[in-house]
Structure 1
Amino acid sequence: MVEVFELFVRDFAIIMIIASVMALISHRLKQPMVIAYIAAGMIIGPHTPPFSLVTQIETLELFAEIGVVLLLFVVGMEFPIQKLRKVGAKASIIAAAEAAGTFLAGYGVGQLLGFSFFDSLFVALAISVTSTVIVMRVLEELKMIKDEAATLILGTAIIEDIIIISMLAVMQSVASTGGLSFSEIGISVGLVLAFIGGAIFLGAKTVPRFIDFIGKTNNYDVLLVAMLGVCFGMAFIAFELGISVAAGAFFAGVLVAESRMHSTAHILATPLKDMFAAVFFISVGALMDITLLPMFIVPALILIGVSFAAKFFTVWSSARAQGFSKLTSARAGFGLSSSGGELALVAAKGGADVGVTSAFILPMIGAMTIITTFISPYAIKYGWKFAERWRPKGSEDTATPKDTEKT
């Protein structure tokens, strides 16, 4: 036991020291911290010659999962229920258009590349994903999290996750049984909708009151513990229902945002979120096996290009069709098209779990996830600057351009 603890302390010390050095370099070069953390992970990881600097990769992965939960919890605090409702219906249309358009494009390209039927299906599903974690982290880091487009991006990404999870259930059912199991699909979709409905309607009546009650003690230690209890409690409920723990944590943050103590809660949770979120991105870099890239780098790059183009076009066109300004539409397009994320690996693994995809699919999607994670900060940062050309002169960006511009 003592030896295991000693190795853990050693590994964590190495992780934090190298991450801090890379973060300092990134700060000096004025680059996003996400890149620094991934680079730190690649330096300490088991796939970087001559040897791995960490011994307990499982511990790193565990802390990464905690990082995802805390990151989405704090992000959820930026989006109270009223703010989400504002873009809910429109975000649903954009998410459906993006998922369908990217899926069809990915399947077609997979067939052209000579993939099998199920390889093409699961690859198409994987490239249809946008990482809520990565995109929100980049927007937060670039001080863009409160922009109107950021709200639209988050709403779309959450709904898209629900669509992707539902599609995965359908595809696995078809692949394993040779036919549609409508009962399983109905149960899966019903659980997701029940969780979201319960969080919004029932949770909103209890969680904010609980947080405000704890806040009356004026003891920040008690408030922090109570918040973490809500965060991980909802994450656990989501996990037990077969939903992403990140989704549970996000809606926990949304409910805390409804309380009168939300500003204090945000300040208390931010340091924890920053530390564990850093570990999450370090783990992404640590698990990257760069020796496998030559095997599938060409199809991976083709699929990344297809994914980016399909997502941008579908988001831009569907947002414009609903009356969003060119500025907001372009920013949403760049934000939602830039990253595949961890759910892409879940989708790829779903095909492997039912034994219908080739062995190269999962590592290829993994490589694509790493590449797009590197690209995301730059795509968002420079994409949003490029979109500034569509800002109406003398005015701020708005949700609906019918109020500001007609062109």
Structure 2
Amino acid sequence: MVEVFELVIRDFAVIMIVASAMALLSYKLKQPMVIAYIAAGMIIGPHTPPFSLITQIEVLELFAEIGVVLLLFVVGMEFPIEKLRKVGRKASVIAAAEASGTFMAGYAVGQTMGFSFYDSLFVALAISVTSTVIVMRVLEELKMIKAEASSLILGVAIIEDIIIISMLAILQSIASTGDLSFVEIGASVGIVLAFIAGALLLGSKTVPKFIDLIGRTNQQDVLVVAMLGVAFGMAFIAFELGISVAAGAFFAGVLIAESKMHSVSAILATPIRDMFAALFFISIGALMDISLLPLFIIPALILVAVSFAAKFITVWSAARAQGFNKLTSMRAGFGLSASGGELALVTAKGGADVGATSAFLLPMIGAMTIITTFISPYAIKFGWKFAEKWKPQGEEEGTAAQAQDKETK
């Protein structure tokens, strides 16, 4: 027992030291931290020659699972129910069109490249993801956050996150049973929808009041324990129902966002999220078998191109159909096209967790995430400039935005 504890402590020290060094390098190069953490994992992992720097891979995987729960929990805290109501019908239609269009394109290309049925499904879902965090950070850095298209992008990304998390829960449920009958698929969809409805209807009447009650004690440590209890409790319920723990954690965050202690809760939860999210990304890198790189790099590049094209076309077409002008539609298309982000990795890990996907899928999605995360700032920056050149004389943003504002009000 003592020997195992010693090995775990040593592994944890190696993980933190290498991750810190890579994070500093990433900061100096002005690259996203997710790339640094994945690279750190690849350096210390068992698939990197000449030998692995860590011995207890199963402990790292455990930390990764906790990281998924906390990552999605804090993401959910950014989406209170009232905010979801204000997103508007137009953004919801565009999000549904983008997610479904990209999913179908990804599945078709996966089958064409000879992927198995489940590999194609999880790949299709992974390339449908757009990272709200990455896109919003890029828009802020480029001082474009106040543009009308940015509001549309945020609304679409919020709804898309919910769609992707719900679809992941359904896919994991189906893949774990291996039953593709309409009855089984219908049952899986029904369980997920019932869980979401129960969380939003029943949870919204109890969880916010519970958190506010704890908050009135002015004991921050007690509040942190209560929040984590809600997060892991919802994740456990989701797990027992046979759906993704990510879905449970996400909706736990949504419920806590309804409390009056939301701002304080978010501040207290963020450092915990950052540590375990880092461990999650490091574990993804460690589990990547880079010896498979020659096998998956070309498919990864193809899928990045398919994802970009499918997202741009579906967003552009749906935005125009909803009455947005050409400038806003094109900017939204570029803004939502490039980034995969953390949810793509959660999706890939979800397929691996239920044993439904092949060994190459996780490193391939990891490579795609690195590529899309790197090109996102350039795609948005130059894409928006390109949109300006195609703007008709006298056309400005806002025409459809004003209509959306009226709708949401």
**Contact map agreement 1:142 1:381 (CA 8 A) in 2:** yes
The separation in 1 between residues aligned to 2:340 and 2:294, in whole angstroms, is 27
| One-letter amino acid of the structure 1 residue matched with residue 401 of structure 2 | T
1:238 aligns with 2:242: no
Corresponding residue of 2:401:
400
Which residue does the alignment assign to 1:40? 40
Q: CA deviation at 1:402?
A: 4.5
Matched, 1:152 2:156: yes
Q: Aligned ranges for residues 101-112 of structure 1 at < 5 Å?
A: 101-110=101-110, 112=112
- Count of residues in Structure 1 that have an aligned counterpart in Structure 2: 388
Structure 1 gap ranges (5+): 354-360
- Taking the aligned partners of 1:168 and 1:76, their CA distance within structure 2 comes to 20
Measured in 1, the distance between the counterparts of 2:398 and 2:5 equals 52
Contact kept in structure 1, 2:11 and 2:53, CA below 8 Å: yes
Between stretches 322-331 and 129-138, larger displacement belongs to 129-138
Q: 1:345·1:362 contact (CA, 8 Å) conserved in 2? A: no
Query: Superposition pairs for residues 164-179 of structure 1, below 5 Å?
Result: 165-166=169-170
Per-residue deviation, 1:306: 2.2
Structure 2 unaligned segments of length 5 or more: list them.
none
Kindly provide the CA deviation profile for residues 277-296 of structure 1, in whole angstroms up to 9, marking residues without a partner as x: 11111111111111122234
| Alpha carbons 1:38, 1:283 under 8 Å: kept | yes
3-state SS of 1:303 partner: helix
Kindly provide the amino acid, as one letter, of the partner of residue 369 in structure 2. T
Contact 1:227 1:265 in 2 (8 A): yes
The residue number in structure 2 matching 1:304 is: 304
Q: Which residue of 1 aligns with 2:286?
A: 286
Matched with 2:274 is 274
Aligned residue runs from structure 1 range 111-260, under 5 A: 112-113=112-113, 115=114, 119=115, 121-130=117-126, 135-139=131-135, 142=138, 148=151, 149-163=153-167, 165-166=169-170, 181-260=181-260
- How far the C-alpha of 1:275 sits from its partner, in A, is 0.6
Distance change (3 Å), C-alpha of 1:120 and 1:56? closer
For 1:386, the equivalent position in structure 2 comes to 382
Alpha carbons of 1:133 and 1:100: their partners in 2 closer, same or farther (altered >3 Å)? closer
Question: CA separation in 2, counterparts of 1:56 and 1:403?
Answer: 52
Q: Is the 8 A contact 1:34 1:138 kept in 2?
A: no
Give the residue type in structure 2 aligned to 1:400.
A
Farther off after superposition, 392-401 or 53-62: 392-401
Residues 80-133 of structure 1 show CA distances to partners (whole Å, capped at 9, x for unaligned) of: 1011123375555445433443344345434544x2xxx454343223224799
What's the counterpart of residue 356 of structure 1?
A: none
Taking a change above 3 Å as real, the CA distance of residues 55 and 171 of structure 1, as seen in their structure-2 partners, is closer
Q: TM-score, normalised by structure 1?
A: 0.83
Residue equivalent to 2:345: 341
Identity %: 58
What's the offset of the Cα at 1:28? 1.2
Of residues 361, 364, 385, the one that matches 2:360 is: 364
What is the distance in 2 between the residues matched to 1:228 and 1:337?
24
Q: 1:330 aligns with which of 304, 327, 334?
A: 334
What SS is found at the alignment partner of 2:131? helix
State the 1:312 CA deviation.
Answer: 3.0
Separation in 2 of the partners of 1:55 and 1:397?
56
Letter in 2 for 1:135: S
Letter of the 2:195 counterpart: F
Which residue is equivalent to 1:357?
none
Q: 1:231 to 1:394 in 2, by over 3 A?
A: farther
Once the two structures are TM-superposed, the CA of residue 155 in structure 1 deviates from its matched residue by: 1.5
Select between 219-228 and 373-382 the one with higher mean Cα deviation.
373-382
For 1:215 and 1:338, the matched residues in 2 are separated by: 30
Q: RMSD value over aligned CA atoms?
A: 3.3
Quick check: 1:342–1:369 contact (8 Å CA) kept in 2? no
Cα distance, 1:336 vs structure 2: 5.8
Cα distance in 1 between the residues matched to 2:130 and 2:55: 26
The 1:132–1:11 alpha-carbon spacing in structure 2 relative to 1, beyond 3 Å, is farther
Residues 198-229 of structure 1, C-alpha deviation per residue, up to 9 Å, x if partnerless? Answer: 11111111111111111111111111111111
Contact 1:97/1:315, CA 8 A, preserved across alignment? yes
Q: TM-score, normalised by structure 2?
A: 0.83
